[in-house]
């Protein structure tokens, strides 16, 4: 009998339920992927990554004459993911020396790299200068002093990060544009920082940067932020950050086209038409590209039904950090009427991947799938309880390839001295 259940927008493109009711991602059977690569595993649709990059570029190309789309790589710092976006013509935003190394290894032109961070070390700044990154986004006065000391006669293009005192409607842990923020300089302090950068030999202040938060589902805060930053002066570049939300369960974020239109219209209204607009999407490019596969280890029923899997907060920390919600399904039996909590294997009562999800008679050996784990799953993965981090598997046109292998016990011991 044909399968009629529709997949939610949280799943990668292309995904479907086959005639047996088994999930396919990128033409690959989820059960076969679990058997071949083990679980937990991050499974990434390469076509989804490329499709979202192309959609973002097309949306900007339809609205703005001068723009740059830059991958906020903290969302999925994996060399293979960097390589896809470099091939698609994006720039790259890095926030550490490690992300810089991966971006360069993946083939990003250093001139198209933006180096971010609120506490860049001397070593990281030196690495950025030595690599000749195109832009360093200056966060604070101490950083200006460090850069001046390191330049050694070189010239470096910089942007100044400002906090426009606009809070996006999102969790406090991922809100960054409010006045009381660890990021950037306040609106009150920005004029002095601008003057200092303009007077500094070797530092070329090309524009301003702001970012108001992540997983935003409303475009209105962007409009307020652009209006605020416009008061600080006339610069050739305005970096409007990223922040577009992704669909995890029942969220309905703005479309890429709506998001881009709101930002471009705001910049043109407040700053004019002759501005280079830089956008830094991260989550919006990668969240829905990926699913995580788990294997059920136990099912127990006390007050609730607890489904224990072979992963948890070591591969998806977001539910524990800020209560992020996820869909979960049995990979070959979507739907169901058993109310469950899907729990991880770690020694924390808070290690719960998803609460109050409906599953079809879950039992040990079942493969579960959690969609929308491309953003910050691999990025936040850790070795709590000595658990090796999962592999990353790319799928496309029915073929699967390993791009990051699973860690081993030997890897956990490799740094011992």
Full set of structural domains in the chain with CATH: 15-45+287-413 (2.40.37.10), 47-285 (3.20.20.10)
Q: Which two tokens stand for residue 351?
A: 């290690």
Write the pLDDT tens digit of every residue in 132-185.
999 999 999 999 999 999 999 999 999 999 998 765 544 444 444 455 678 899
Q: Rounded to whole angstroms, how far apart are CA atoms 212 and 145?
A: 26
pTM across the whole model:
0.94
The count of other CB atoms within 10 Å of the CB of residue 246 is: 24
**Which residue ranges make up the annotated binding site?**
243, 280-283, 318, 322, 348, 376
By annotation, the residues acting in catalysis are 347
E strands along 213-336, which residues?
Answer: 237-239, 276-279, 290-301, 305-309, 329-330
Which residues carry a binding-site annotation for substrate? 283, 318, 322, 348, 376
* pLDDT surpassing 80 at residue 94: yes
DSSP line for 95-136: -SHHHHHHHHHTT--GGGEEE--SS--HHHHHHHHHHT-SEE
Instruction: Report the Cα 139 to chain-centroid distance in Å.
Output: 20
Q: Would you say residue 312 has pLDDT above 80?
A: yes
- For residue 171, the model assigns a pLDDT of 40
pLDDT tier for residue 5 given thresholds of 50, 70 and 90: low
**251 or 190, which is more confident:** 190
Binding-site residues for pyridoxal 5'-phosphate: 243, 280-283, 376
CB contact at 8 A, 340 and 307: yes
Query: pLDDT (tens digit, 9 = 90+) per residue, 283-295?
Result: 999 999 999 999 9
Q: Tell me the mean pLDDT in the region 230-240.
A: 93
């Amino acid at each position: 009998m044909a399968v009629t259940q529709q997949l939610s927008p949280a799943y990668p493109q292309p995904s479907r339920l086959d005639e047996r009711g088994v999930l396919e991602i990128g033409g690959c059977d989820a059960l076969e992927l679990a058997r071949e690569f083990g679980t937990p595993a991050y499974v990434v649709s390469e076509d989804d990554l490329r499709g979202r990059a192309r959609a973002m570029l097309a949306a900007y190309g339809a609205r703005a004459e001068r723009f740059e789309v830059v991958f906020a790589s903290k969302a999925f710092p994996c060399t293979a993911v960097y390589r896809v976006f470099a091939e698609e013509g994006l720039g790259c935003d890095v926030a550490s020396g490690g992300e810089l190394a991966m971006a360069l290894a993946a083939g990003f032109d250093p001139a198209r790299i933006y180096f971010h961070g609120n506490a860049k070390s001397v070593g990281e700044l030196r690495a950025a200068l030595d690599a000749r990154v195109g832009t360093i986004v200056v966060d604070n006065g101490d950083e200006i002093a460090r850069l001046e000391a390191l330049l050694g006669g070189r010239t470096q293009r910089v942007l100044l990060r400002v906090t426009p005192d606009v809070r996006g409607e999102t969790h406090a842990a991922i809100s960054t544009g409010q006045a009381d923020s660890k990021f950037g300089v306040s609106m009150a302090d920005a004029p002095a920082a601008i003057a200092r950068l303009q007077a500094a030999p070797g530092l070329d202040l090309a524009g301003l940067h702001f970012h108001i938060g992540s997983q935003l589902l409303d475009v209105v805060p962007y409009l307020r932020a652009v209006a605020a930053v416009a008061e600080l002066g006339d610069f050739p570049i305005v970096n409007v950050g990223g922040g577009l939300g992704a669909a995890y369960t029942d969220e309905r974020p703005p479309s890429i086209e709506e998001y881009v239109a709101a930002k471009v219209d705001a910049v043109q209204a407040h700053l004019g038409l002759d501005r280079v607009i830089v956008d830094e999407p991260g989550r919006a490019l990668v969240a829905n590209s990926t699913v995580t596969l788990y294997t059920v280890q136990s099912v127990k029923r006390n007050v609730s039904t607890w489904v224990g899997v072979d992963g948890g907060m070591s591969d998806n920390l977001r539910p524990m950090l800020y209560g992020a919600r996820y869909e979960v399904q049995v990979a070959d039996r979507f739907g169901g009427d058993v109310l469950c909590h899907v729990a991880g294997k770690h020694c924390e009562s808070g290690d719960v991947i998803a609460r109050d999800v409906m599953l079809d008679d879950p039992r040990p050996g079942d493969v579960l799938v959690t969609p929308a784990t491309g953003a910050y799953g691999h990025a936040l993965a850790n070795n709590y309880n000595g658990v090796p981090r999962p592999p990353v598997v790319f799928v496309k046109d029915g073929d699967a390839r390993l791009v990051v292998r699973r860690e081993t016990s030997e890897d956990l011991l490799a740094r011992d001295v």
